[in-house]
């Protein structure tokens, strides 16, 4: 036997094995880590500002921590910049020319500036998933909706994708309702199921941060309760930032709350403190319903 050929065959096998291993690893849900250190940082905004293409400054010099495996809610009146801030975190504004970021959004512990020129927006979006106000499944099967992010990640092995799809659907608490119709159209699901499917789709690439933009505003109370329970469960393994107009929801599900007004971060603190004893009069006026 030729030693060179043997070496070449072994190398091919090893390459395949390594590729499969890498794909499995990329698709595996993150292991449950020990409880987060108190107030350990997952990200931090430093002097962060955002300008739309017409020059309008929607976010003004925000400094804010995002704590690891905690739920942070952002509240504030319409137009205060909370959704704009959320969308900045996964570079969604890059899709429109002329928009501009200033300051830094540092992902910890790596120290990578997510809005820096060195960061690839597509890769940022794989690391920071997003779910929108209205459920927006792709016009595809349930399976393909969840697999989409994995395919973007370059995962091709069918078995790996199968396992990851099941894992994501289980994490999003929608597996039992979809396991028998994975090839059925996602649009046939109820609104609440569609939203949890969208959460599964966002979870599939194993993001480090999950952004939720008013995820229950289009859902009935039962579907809302399921999503709220899901957010609580997911916060054991993923950092969550949620924008909500429902202050009771913010009080129920988040560990930290940020109040924004006209692009400024007015107050940030423990949710309990914000809703029982806010420090800033503007926060108090808003949450007590004395502010338009």
- In the complex, minimum distance from the CB of residue 247 to another protein, in angstroms, rounded to a whole number: 7
Minimum distance, C-beta of residue 72 to another protein, in the bound complex (Å): 18
97 vs 292 by CB, closer to another protein: 292
Query: Which of 190, 285 has the CB closer to another protein?
Result: 285
Choose one: 36-44, 119-127, 173-181, 284-292; the region binding another protein (CB under 8 A): 284-292
- Count of residues that bind another protein according to CB under 8 A: 15
Q: Rule CB under 8 A: say whether 292 interacts with another protein.
A: yes
CB 139 within 8 A of CB 194: no
Name the minimum Å distance from CB 246 to another protein: 10
Closer to another protein by Cβ: residue 7 or 273: 273
The nearest distance, CB 42 to another protein, in angstroms, is 27
154-213 binders of another protein (CB under 8 A) = none
In the complex, minimum distance from the CB of residue 283 to another protein, in angstroms, rounded to a whole number: 8
Nearer to another protein, 57 or 217 (CB): 217
Dihedral in degrees, nearest 10, Cα atoms 107, 110, 115, 119: -140
Minimal distance in Å, beta carbon 253 to another protein?
A: 15
Site for another protein in 221-280 (CB under 8 A): 247-248, 251, 275-278
Instruction: State in angstroms the smallest separation of the CB of 79 from another protein.
Output: 16
Nearer to another protein, 50 or 286 (CB): 286
Nearer to another protein (CB atom), residue 76 or residue 137: 76
* CB closer to another protein, 65 vs 278: 278
SS (H, E, C) the chain: CCHHHHHHHHHHHHHHHHHHHHHHHHHCCCCCCCCCCCCCEEEEEEEEEEECCCCCEEEEEEEEEEECCCEEEEECCCCCCHHHHHHHHCCHHHHCCCCEEEEEEEECCCCEECCCCCCCHHHHHHHEEEECCCCCCCCCEHHHHHHHHHHHCCCCCHHHHHHHHHHHHHHCCCHHHHCCCCCCEHHHCCHHHHHHHHHHHHHCCCCCEEEEECCCCCCCHHHHHHHHHHHHHHCCCCEEEEECCCHHHHHHHCCEEEEEECCEEEEEEEHHHHHHCCCCHHHHHHHCCCCC
Q: What is the rounded CA–CA span in Å between residue 109 and residue 137?
A: 32
Q: Does 289 bind another protein (CB under 8 A)?
A: yes
> Which residues here bind another protein, judged by CB under 8 A?
247-248, 251, 275-278, 284-285, 287-292
């Amino acid at each position: 036997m030729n030693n060179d050929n043997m070496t070449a065959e072994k190398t091919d096998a090893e390459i395949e094995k390594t590729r499969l291993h890498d794909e499995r690893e990329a698709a595996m849900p993150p292991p449950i880590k020990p409880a987060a250190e108190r107030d350990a940082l997952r990200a931090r905004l430093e002097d962060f500002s955002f300008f739309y293409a017409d020059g309008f400054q929607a976010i003004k010099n925000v400094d804010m921590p995002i704590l690891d495996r905690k739920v942070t809610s952002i509240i504030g009146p319409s137009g205060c910049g909370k959704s704009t801030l959320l969308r900045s975190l996964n570079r969604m504004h890059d899709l429109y020319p002329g928009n501009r970021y200033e300051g830094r959004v540092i992902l910890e512990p790596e120290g990578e500036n997510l809005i820096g020129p060195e960061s690839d927006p597509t890769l940022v979006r794989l690391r920071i998933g997003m779910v929108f106000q209205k459920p927006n499944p792709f016009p595809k099967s349930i399976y393909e909706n969840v697999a989409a992010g994995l395919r973007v990640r370059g995962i091709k092995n069918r078995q790996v994708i199968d396992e990851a799809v099941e894992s994501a659907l289980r994490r999003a608490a929608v597996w039992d309702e979809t396991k028998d119709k994975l090839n059925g159209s996602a649009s046939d699901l109820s609104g609440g199921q569609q939203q949890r499917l969208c959460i599964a789709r966002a979870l599939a690439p194993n993001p480090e941060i999950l952004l939720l933009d008013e995820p229950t505003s289009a859902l009935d109370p039962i579907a809302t309760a399921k999503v709220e329970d899901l957010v609580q469960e997911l916060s054991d393994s993923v950092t969550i930032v949620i924008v909500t107009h429902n202050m009771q929801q913010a009080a129920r599900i988040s560990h930290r709350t940020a109040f924004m007004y006209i692009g400024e971060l007015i107050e940030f603190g423990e949710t309990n403190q914000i809703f029982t004893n806010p420090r800033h009069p503007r926060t108090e006026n808003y949450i007590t319903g004395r502010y338009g």
